[in-house]
Chains A and B, each alone.
Chain A
């Protein structure tokens, strides 16, 4: 295992005859008010390589790239492109220096065609007709050269996410990008789409383009990149040759201490069926069927993981079970008894012991401007411990919140602080505390560690397993395969609203699940 090259030492003087690095960032510093997002960051990216940048959420990766792309200007520091010091004050200047960026949230105009999107900002004159023809030709060329075919007249909003990302890459290439920055590009892709993307990036690399690949998934770093830099709390802590490092070493660098990626958990002892779902059909807000005939059972003392690429019906399934989305067909049985329609609502379900940790804590789980103690009683606010009649007992509310924050190590221990002022991990602990402290017999858990730092992930995972060991039935919906593997005893995979397979956790692996997630339905075969 190679010793990590300290970022400072990495900035060696360019050897004579060797091409200068494509990008050199020297001493980049950026603060947003009290938040020091980038601290004296140095980065050197050689031409024609795929350079990964990893770090936890909030490590400063996106800020650094936004500075490179001219979205923000650094408070201090220097940027060199091909050895030349440059100032990048706007996206326009970044583009003129040959930098292209594929943002995590696509910068696309959905009602417009692929051609219009690619052309935007590169129209080639005040009238569209000439430019449009030139771009059309260029798209055809690029399609052949890199295998990036897209129908130029398709409406972007109607394309699959993978194709939309392809349009983003084409936008950069049409503008003559030599350096391509991709910010968490695989977060929205199926495993097959991600493989396609990687193939595409390798072709680009072979054409001597430079690629910066930002992610927090170590698997992707290992399989794709040539070099990898690690960021932690705004600092660039290390740079490795990918071939001479390992996932544990990178994970250590990311968090600054050893973490147990796999938590210790004893064998499950599933008991009787707590929850059963029969032929469930659920529609989304636009009346599109998102869950299409799903049936499964959930037993006491087990964690059932629901895996799948985001947007394949998991969210709607969870919402339907929690009583916040109506059922179009099918039934839910609790302890063998059908749940009557009158009790298919969150309040009634809580009363019969079904807890719900929603996927999106910002939108559904918490009220951001509320004090933590208020957020900690949402959904249970009617209970008499918080007061009788029209008035609340403020002291009881605060005491209750303090107790929960103590039990779940929510920091800071400040019941009167606004919910929004807690970090993502602590907000999530607050939601978990609220639900688990009510001692439900069935827990519906959605994306428990989305946007949560690694330290808090460990804590949350342990709590979830402890619930299982206490004989509770847990349904876990997560788009993170690692999380599904770490927690689940049994796994079902959803694709296109149907269950494409069921596995015992010890009998499967990422590849196997990847096939199921991509819709290879063994039952149909």
Chain B
């Protein structure tokens, strides 16, 4: 039973660590399915986290923080969109620029306002997204195993987490059952086909980029207003890049994206849990080795275990009408 509780704890922690990955991964999915490669997810997460924390600090409202965070990332996405779609810039360069600017600017502005080395003040509970206890969690929680799972894994998360999980089927439905989704999938593969069918390539790609901004904004806000209670510089810690790796691993599909992000979240949780633990026959594993586990696994999995991941054929290529 103790082992079971330990597992429940690790899984619960895995979900919490997986949520920002899921949101960022879905954000990347929308953008790249339309043909706009977004390597700037990391920078946008930071942007969203900072704007969210800053406005939650000013107003004391988590919701206004969320709105501000999402607005900021949509603006950042539109900048990337303008460079990629209208100016036909190199999308890797544009995305990298966003990463660098976001990394520096968030710390700079944070430090200018609060003089805490870029960190924002600790937020009170009312300015955060708190855990929601689902109905009957207490009473039903007494039931062995099933109840415990309900109480500790399914209940007790914040609204952003539930939204992230709801967004996976929503994305799936939108991609495969709506007109917009069909056009989006087509424009990432062959924009000329979309253009000659009388549909605006530019309009579709801008829509996708805005959706990407909203989703990655939620991911950033989650970091500062749900996982932590403040913003601090570099707090995204490579999650944007891990989300991109998960996207490749999931071959740009929503359900596999969810599974991959959860897997990465669990690995992260497991790594934390294993720190300092004496394993039989191996002994204590160095902290660094455990911390690098998710990254090593990412590389190994990406290199050998998923077969060929074929990206949307037109991703990264600006659309120019050919002569």
Binary per-residue interface labels of chain B (160-180) against chain A in the complex, 1 for a CB within 8 Å, 0 otherwise: 000000000000000001111
Give the distance in Å from the alpha carbon of A120 to the alpha carbon of B180 in the complex.
10
A109 and B189 contact, Cβ closer than 8 Å, known pairs A123-B179, A127-B178: yes
Choice from B178, B182, B185, B192 contacting A107 with Cβ under 8 Å: B192
Query: B313: which A residues are within 8 A, CB to CB?
Result: 110-111
A103 proximal to B (CB < 8 A): yes
Q: Which listed residue, B182, B195, B321, B323, touches A116 by the CB 8 Å rule?
A: B182
B197 touches A120 (CB 8 A): yes
B179 touches A109 (CB 8 A): no
Docked Cα-Cα span, A250 to B82, in Å, equals 49
User: In which size bucket is the chain B interface?
Assistant: 20 to 34
Measured CA separation A111–B321 after assembly (Å): 22
How does the 8 Å CB contact mask read for B185-206 relative to A, with 1 for contact and 0 for none? 1100110111111110000000
A91 touches B198 (CB 8 A): yes
Chain B residues with CB below 8 A from A116, complex form? 182, 186
Q: Is the CB of A110 within 8 A of B189?
A: yes
Chain B residue numbers with a CB within 8 Å of A126 are: 178-180
Judge if B183 is at the interface, Cβ distance under 8 Å: yes
- Which B residues lie within 8 Å of A92 (CB)? 198-199
In chain A, residues 369-416, which have Cβ atoms closer than 8 Å to a Cβ of chain B?
none
| Residue contact A109 to B196, C-beta cutoff 8 Å | no
Query: Contacts of A117 on B, CB cut-off 8 Å?
Result: 193
- Report the bound CA distance from A107 to B323 in whole Å: 15
In the complex, how many residue pairs between chain A and chain B have their CB atoms under 8 Å apart? 75
Residues of B within 8 A of A107 (CB): 190, 192-193, 196-197
Alpha-carbon gap, A467 to B24, bound state (A) = 63
A117 and B183 alpha carbons, distance in the complex (Å): 10
Interface positions, chain A 94-123, Cβ under 8 Å from B, are 94-95, 101, 103, 105, 107-112, 116-117, 119-123
Q: Is the CB of B177 within 8 A of A120?
A: no
Q: Given A71-B321, A126-B179, verify A120-B189 contact (CB < 8 Å).
A: no
- A34 partner residues in chain B, CB cutoff 8 A: none
Check A90 for interface membership: any CB of B closer than 8 A: yes
- Given A107-B193, A109-B193, A127-B177 contact (CB < 8 Å): yes
Q: Could you mark each residue 61-79 of chain A with 1 if its beta carbon is under 8 Å from any beta carbon of chain B, else 0?
A: 0010000010110000000
Question: In the bound complex, do residue A128 and residue B196 qualify as a contact, i.e. CB atoms below 8 Å apart?
Answer: no
Contact of A108 among B180, B183, B193, B195 (CB under 8 A): B193
Q: Does A125 contact B (CB under 8 A)?
A: yes
How many whole Å from A97's CB to the nearest CB in chain B?
A: 11
Q: Which one of B178, B190, B199, B323 lies within 8 Å of A121 (CB-CB)?
A: B199
Q: Are B197 and A91 in contact (CB under 8 A)?
A: yes
Which of these, B179, B186, B323, contacts A32 with CB under 8 Å?
B323
A121 & B189 in contact (Cβ 8 Å cutoff) = no
Indicate if A524 sits at the interface (CB-CB under 8 A): no
Interface contact B196-A111, CB-CB below 8 Å? no
- Contact string against A for B residues 63-101, beta-carbon threshold 8 Å, 1 for contact and 0 otherwise: 000000000000000000000000000000000000000
Pairwise interchain contact B179-A110, C-beta atoms closer than 8 A: no
Q: Inside 8 A of B192's CB, which chain A residues have their CB?
A: 105, 107
Does A129 contact B193, Cβ atoms closer than 8 Å? no
Q: What are the residues of chain B within 8 A of A123 when measuring CB–CB?
A: 179, 182
Most A-side CB within 10 Å, residue of B180, B195, B196, B198: B196
B280-323 vs A, CB cutoff 8 Å, 1 = contact: the mask equals 00000000000000000000000000000000010000000101
B-side contacts of A101, CB under 8 Å: 196
The listed residue (A69, A112, A125) touching B186 by CB distance below 8 A is A112
B178 close to A120 (CB less than 8 A)? no
B58 to chain A, nearest CB (A): 39
Residues of A close to B186: CB separation below 8 A: 109, 112, 116, 120
Tell whether, in the assembled complex, residue B182 and residue A128 are in contact, meaning their CB atoms are under 8 Å apart: yes
Contact call A129/B177, Cβ cutoff below 8 A: yes
| Residues in A neighbouring B179, C-beta threshold 8 A | 123, 125-128, 131
A72–B323 CA distance with the chains assembled, in angstroms: 9
| Among A93, A103, A121, A127, contact of B194 (Cβ-Cβ < 8 Å) | A121
13 residue pairs A–B, Cβ–Cβ below 8 Å: A71-B196, A103-B196, A107-B190, A107-B197, A109-B189, A110-B313, A117-B193, A120-B193, A120-B197, A121-B194, A125-B179, A126-B178, A128-B179
Apart from A101-B196, A128-B181, A171-B197: 7 A-B pairs, beta carbons within 8 A: A103-B196, A108-B193, A109-B185, A111-B313, A112-B185, A123-B179, A126-B178
